[in-house]
Amino acid sequence: MNLMENVDLIIHSRWIVPVTDSATILQNHAIVVKDSRIVALLPQAEAKQQYVAESVHNMGEHCLIPGLINNHAHTAMSLFRGLADDLPLMTWLNDHIWPAEAEFVGDQFVESGSSLAIAEMIRGGTTCFNDMYFFPDATARIVDRSGLRATLGMVVIEFPTNWASNVDEYLHKGQQLHDRYRNHSRIQTSYAPHAPYTVANSTFEKIMINAEEMDLPIHMHIHETKGEIEQSLSEFGVRPLQRLKDLGLLTPRLIAVHMTQLTDEEITWCADAAINVAHCPESNLKLASGFCPVAKLDNAGVNVTIGTDGAASNNDLDMFAEMRQAALLAKAVSGDASAVPAHRALAMATINAAKALGLDKEIGSLEIGKQADIVAVNLSDLETQPLLNVVSQLVYAASRDKVTDVWVAGKQLLRSRKLTTLSESTIIDDAQNWAQKIGQKSI
At 134-179, the pLDDT tens digits run 999 999 999 999 999 999 999 999 999 999 999 999 999 999 999 9
Q: Is 217 in contact with 255 (CB distance < 8 Å)?
A: yes
- Strand-strand pairing, 374-378 and 403-408: antiparallel
Phi, psi angle pair for 308, to nearest 5°: -95, -25
406: nearest Cα among 364, 363, 375, 378: 375
**307 CB contacts (<8 Å, ≥6 apart)?**
70, 71, 72, 73, 130, 257, 278, 279, 280, 322
pLDDT at 22: 85
- Strand-strand pairing, 149-156 and 187-193: parallel
pLDDT at 2: 62
Runs of H (alpha helix) within 39-198: 44-50, 89-92, 98-104, 107-123, 136-146, 167-181
CA-to-CA separations, 376 to 143, 162, 168, in angstroms, rounded: 21, 40, 44
* Model confidence pLDDT, tens digit, residues 232-241: 999 999 999 9
Cross-strand bridge partners of residue 150: 129, 187
Pick the CATH number of 5-66+371-419 from 3.40.30.10, 2.30.40.10, 1.10.357.10, 1.10.3720.10: 2.30.40.10
Neighbours of 182 (CB within 10 A): 11
Alpha carbon of residue 355 to chain centroid: 12
| Cα–Cα distance for residue pair 215/27, rounded to 1 Å | 39
Which 3 state secondary structure label does DSSP give 115? Answer: helix
pLDDT averaged per 10 residues in sequence order, the chain, 443 residues: 86 98 95 98 97 96 98 97 90 90 96 98 98 98 98 97 97 98 98 98 98 98 96 98 98 98 98 98 95 98 98 95 98 98 98 98 98 98 96 98 98 98 98 92 54
pLDDT at 439: 84
| Cα–Cα distance for residue pair 228/234, rounded to 1 Å | 10
Classify 68-356 by CATH class.
alpha beta
Phi, psi angle pair for 97, to nearest 5°: -70, -50
Answer left, alpha or beta for residue 374, where phi above 0 means left and psi between -120 and 50 means alpha: beta
Runs of H (alpha helix) within 288-421: 294-300, 319-334, 342-348, 351-356, 390-392
| Cα–Cα distance for residue pair 417/406, rounded to 1 Å | 9
Neighbours of 56 (CB within 10 A): 15
Cross-strand bridge partners of residue 191: 154, 218
178: nearest Cα among 155, 159, 198, 158: 155
pLDDT at 93: 87
Q: What is the pTM of this model?
A: 0.97
pLDDT at 88: 86
Neighbours of 31 (CB within 10 A): 27
pLDDT at 441: 65
167: nearest Cα among 200, 140, 145, 134: 200
Angle at 265 between CA 264 and CA 267, to 5 degrees: 65
What are the residue boundaries of the structural domains of the chain, listed by start? 5-66+371-419, 68-356
Q: Is 66 in contact with 375 (CB distance < 8 Å)?
A: yes
| Cα–Cα distance for residue pair 438/100, rounded to 1 Å | 8
- Tell me, what DSSP letter sits at residue 335? T
| Cα–Cα distance for residue pair 111/139, rounded to 1 Å | 6
- Strand-strand pairing, 51-58 and 149-156: unpaired
Which 3 state secondary structure label does DSSP give 256? Answer: strand
